[in-house]
Structure 1
Amino acid sequence: MTVALWATAAALVAVSLQGQVTAQVVDAAATTWWRPRLGYKFQYQLKMAFDVKRDFIPGVQARQRGASTWPGRRGAEIGREPPPPAEWVYLIDGFEATNADVAVILSKGFFPICYFSAGSYEDWRPDKGLFQASDYGSKLSGWAGEFWLDVRSANVKVIMTARMKMCKAKGFVGIDPDNVDAFANPSGFPLTAADQLAYNKWLAATAHGLGLAVGLKNDVGQIQDLVGDFDYFVNE
């Protein structure tokens, strides 16, 4: 599926999977990590066992970037990028992608984003044994083998930090942490809006500390409180 995301380095954006887009632009300081800009489109491809040679969609095209638009440049240069072509941002599963997959996506002129769940325990992930029984609660409705996490848990933060470091090591330029609205769902924990806000701010700060962009998935009720922390916002 292809999702168009209209964003700037300082945009409050809501995007639906049906293509409905609304945006409110706000001011933000320059950063030292990559951030999406107005006109970027997001290609979500979360197929399990993703193989870039087999699964990369050739119909989603991007122009080659010059040195001035390559990830890792200084933050002050970000605002001087030329208007981008269409599909530049490619989101894939962080666990399934290899370093080689990410390198190929970069070589094709795309910005690769690392998807993982930051708010749920998934019983098929390789790091599932690191979670404590007290870390996960109720099942996510409609998703087999997936349970809400207690975002107050220090152990959960240790695991999520390791996941973000994995994304960085594989060469991704940003992360797309999913399920960060447990407080608004029957999670099995007495989570408050303040608990969720603190966790989401922690996620953003940790990602930025690693030089990664970070997006807010859903949690639309807290966007106004998080617009200064996240680089893009997606609402399914």
Structure 2
Amino acid sequence: MRHSPAPRRLRTLAVVGAGTFALAACGAVAAPHAPPVVRQASAVADVAPVAVPPAGGVLDYQLGGAYPPPEGVTVVARDSTAQPEPGLHNICYVNGFQSQPADRELWLTERRDLVLSGPDGEPVSDPGWPDELLLDTSTEQHRTRLAELIGDTVRGCAASGFDSVELDNLDSYGRSQGQLTEDDNVAFAKLLADVAHGAGLAVGQKNAAELGARGKDEAGFDFAVTESCHRYEGCADYAAIYGGDVLDVEYADDLRGTFPEVCADPATPATATVRDHDLVAPDDPAYVFDHC
């Protein structure tokens, strides 16, 4: 999970507990459960159509732990180790370009050649999330092998009943000490998107607005999942590529203005949700959730 360019994660703006700040609710009425939008995978002509999240749906971003979504939620994102929520569009979180913290030793002991090395020969970690190792997407051979490993997780999402997948850390090249390029990660994203489409899943581009149309046209992404696009004034960049198929999470501790002001901005996606920084469950005093 990650914020880019800042954090990673967020819920009903009822902030529970003393010492937390309150955010004014947007006042919007929860959208009815929209039927899934089924379309041909954007860059794949020979696979079955996939269902993207409903445009304007109400998103709950639950990467910090699964819990029953608030009333009105139509789209929920959960980690690949969690189970989908019946009756909603479920997005499966997959750390596509970096290792998960719990798997760090596995990658270092059994897959070391697939972990990126810096100029000093040491494994390269994400500075913001030092328990995560950058995967080495720099060669076709590495990308093929990585697609088999990460692809197993993607196929597992489909087997669990998820509808789509978001591939995190697409922008790992920017943290690679010059060892990876945008081209490397776009090529690897294409392999993972092909796996997802083959399993019947829509694929979301996670952050990396700097790719422009390459994510959709070359990698084959069907929609976008953005973190803090309003905060960093990038929402229009995603809308220019994906139209209404943009899901946005803003973080309560890093808003640009109040959340009602965020929602009132014409550039803000209709799906915008505000969550707490660590995406905690409702029983945690730090829990925050609201939606436009």
Q: TM-score band (shorter)?
A: 0.5 to 0.7
User: Are 1:43 and 1:90, in contact at CA under 8 Å, matched by a contact in 2?
Assistant: yes
User: Are 1:90 and 1:110, in contact at CA under 8 Å, matched by a contact in 2?
Assistant: yes
User: What residue in structure 1 maps to residue 54 of structure 2?
Assistant: 37
User: What residue in structure 2 maps to residue 235 of structure 1?
Assistant: 226
CA distance 1:140–1:42, change in 2 (3 Å): same
User: Are 1:131 and 1:156, in contact at CA under 8 Å, matched by a contact in 2?
Assistant: no
Q: Identity, % of aligned pairs? A: 27
Picking from 132, 135, 144, the partner of 1:149 is: 135
* 1:172 aligned counterpart, secondary structure: coil
* TM-score, normalised relative to structure 2: 0.53
* 1:38 aligned counterpart, secondary structure: coil
User: What residue in structure 2 maps to residue 132 of structure 1?
Assistant: 111
Following superposition, the deviation at residue 224 of structure 1 comes to 1.0
Following superposition, the deviation at residue 147 of structure 1 comes to 1.1
Picking from 61, 74, 88, the partner of 2:71 is: 61
* TM-score, normalised relative to structure 1: 0.65
Alpha-carbon separation, structure 2, partners of 1:146 and 1:139: 6
User: What residue in structure 1 maps to residue 79 of structure 2?
Assistant: 93
Picking from 151, 157, 165, the partner of 2:155 is: 165
Bigger RCO of structures 1 and 2 (CA < 8 A, at least 6 apart):
2
User: What residue in structure 2 maps to residue 175 of structure 1?
Assistant: 165
The structure 1 segments of at least 4 consecutive aligned residues displaced by more than 4 Å after TM superposition are none
Residue type at the aligned position of 2:222: D
User: What residue in structure 2 maps to residue 211 of structure 1?
Assistant: 200
CA distance 1:223–1:233, change in 2 (3 Å): farther
CA distance 1:188–1:156, change in 2 (3 Å): farther
User: Are 2:76 and 2:91, in contact at CA under 8 Å, matched by a contact in 1?
Assistant: yes
Q: Which has the higher strand share?
A: 1
Following superposition, the deviation at residue 172 of structure 1 comes to 0.7
Alpha-carbon separation, structure 2, partners of 1:133 and 1:30: 37
Q: CA RMSD in A?
A: 2.7
* 2:194 aligned counterpart, secondary structure: helix
Structure 2: any 5+ residue segments left out of the alignment? 1-9, 13-25, 27-37, 42-48, 117-123, 228-292
User: Are 1:183 and 1:191, in contact at CA under 8 Å, matched by a contact in 2?
Assistant: yes
CA distance 1:37–1:131, change in 2 (3 Å): farther
